[in-house]
């Protein structure tokens, strides 16, 4: 019997995950099937339980079920604990295990595909929701000098900053501010958009001057054309601008590695997906 994997979400028809994992499996000559499943809040737990009861080996979880998956899990990785959400599930020793691979996916994309240097750099992360909470610790682990979490409401950004300040290395600052309080001083090396504004074609209200030619700008969202944030970053003079397609593939590679014990080469998969998006 071929090992079964799946992604659960709502909506789910747009998901690239089946294609990504098929390409990983072909590359590494792994025999598996990976399918996409539409669920809803009322039956998500039942759907997950049924999948594993039928012999399923592992699942990815996307919006809006990451927090529910986190609550279901009997064993949480450190990344999942800190994120308060899980995107990767598997059974081990008859216990449901959970991880969150979003943060390491982001860092791997920045380092390996975007040519970024994180060590010693000053970062601004826009947003303070679940997507941002899942990436702060891996960014801190990369050796950055500081992170400013900027959000529409200060209290939510401050809450995250307080949590992650305790996990930062000595001398590394994690601060919070409202969008309007962002300043180009000290120098901003990298700006990461973790808000959902790009979905609506909007951009967080970042003041003029925060982004300049040397600033690397990264949108955790992706689309078949430039996201609104990427267009805005270009208009501000940023020369290095990236969307989140690479992060999507990199986080999937981490899930694949957890399940199968082997790590795929992500570069050719990112290139194939990029070509496919350009023709849509």
The set of catalytic residues is 66
**Beta pairing, strands 32-38 & 216-219:** unpaired
Find out whether 156 is annotated in a ligand binding site: yes
Quote the CA–CA distance of 86 and 101 in Å, as a whole number: 8
Find out whether 145 is annotated in a ligand binding site: no
Find out whether 71 is annotated in a ligand binding site: no
| Distances 230 to 39, 109, 122, 203, 240 between C-alpha atoms, Å | 32, 16, 19, 9, 10
| Distances 259 to 47, 90, 222, 231, 255 between C-alpha atoms, Å | 19, 7, 26, 37, 6
Find out whether 197 is annotated in a ligand binding site: no
Q: How many helices (H) and strands (E) does the chain have?
A: 11, 12
Find out whether 127 is annotated in a ligand binding site: yes
Find out whether 102 is annotated in a ligand binding site: yes
Find out whether 222 is annotated in a ligand binding site: yes
**Torsion angle of the four alpha carbons 144, 145, 150, 155, in this order, in degrees rounded to the nearest 10:** 110
Find out whether 45 is annotated in a ligand binding site: no
Find out whether 131 is annotated in a ligand binding site: yes
Find out whether 129 is annotated in a ligand binding site: yes
Quote the CA–CA distance of 190 and 123 in Å, as a whole number: 5
Find out whether 155 is annotated in a ligand binding site: yes
Find out whether 224 is annotated in a ligand binding site: no
Is residue 218 within 8 A of residue 242, CB to CB? The reply is yes
Find out whether 154 is annotated in a ligand binding site: yes
Q: Which residues are within 8 A (CB) of 9 and not within 5 positions of it... i.e. 6 or more apart?
A: 15, 36, 37, 38, 39, 61, 62, 63, 64, 65
Residues contributing to the annotated binding site:
15-17, 62, 78, 87, 102, 127-131, 151-156, 220, 222, 244, 251
Residues contributing to the annotated binding site for NADP(+):
78, 127-131, 151-156, 220, 244
Residues contributing to the annotated binding site for shikimate:
15-17, 62, 87, 102, 222, 251
């Amino acid at each position: 019997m071929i090992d079964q994997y799946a992604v659960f979400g709502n909506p789910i028809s747009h998901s690239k995950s089946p294609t990504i994992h098929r390409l990983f499996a072909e590359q590494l000559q792994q025999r598996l099937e990976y399918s996409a499943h539409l669920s809803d809040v009322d039956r998500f737990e039942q759907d997950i339980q049924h999948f594993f009861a039928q012999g399923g080996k592992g699942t990815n979880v996307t919006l809006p079920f990451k927090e529910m998956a986190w609550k279901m899990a009997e064993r949480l990785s450190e990344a999942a604990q800190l994120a308060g959400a899980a995107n990767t599930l598997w059974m081990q020793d008859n216990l449901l295990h959970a991880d969150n691979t979003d943060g390491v996916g982001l860092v791997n994309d920045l380092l390996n595909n975007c040519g970024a240097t994180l060590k010693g750099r000053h970062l601004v992360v826009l947003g303070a929701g679940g997507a941002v909470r899942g990436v702060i610790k891996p960014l801190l682990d990369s050796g950055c000098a500081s992170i400013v979490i900027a959000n529409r409401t200060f209290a939510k950004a401050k809450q995250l900053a307080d949590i992650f300040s305790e996990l930062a290395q000595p001398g590394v600052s994690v601060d919070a501010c409202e969008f309007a309080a962002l300043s180009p001083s000290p120098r901003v090396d990298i700006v990461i958009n973790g808000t959902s504004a790009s979905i609506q074609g909007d951009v967080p209200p970042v003041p003029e001057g925060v982004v300049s030619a040397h600033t690397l700008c990264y949108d955790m969202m992706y689309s078949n054309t430039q996201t609104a944030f990427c267009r805005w970053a270009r208009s501000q003079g940023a020369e290095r601008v990236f969307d989140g397609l690479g992060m999507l593939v990199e986080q999937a590679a981490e899930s694949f590695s957890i399940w199968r014990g082997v790590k795929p080469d992500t570069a050719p998969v990112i290139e194939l997906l990029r070509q496919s998006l350009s023709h849509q």
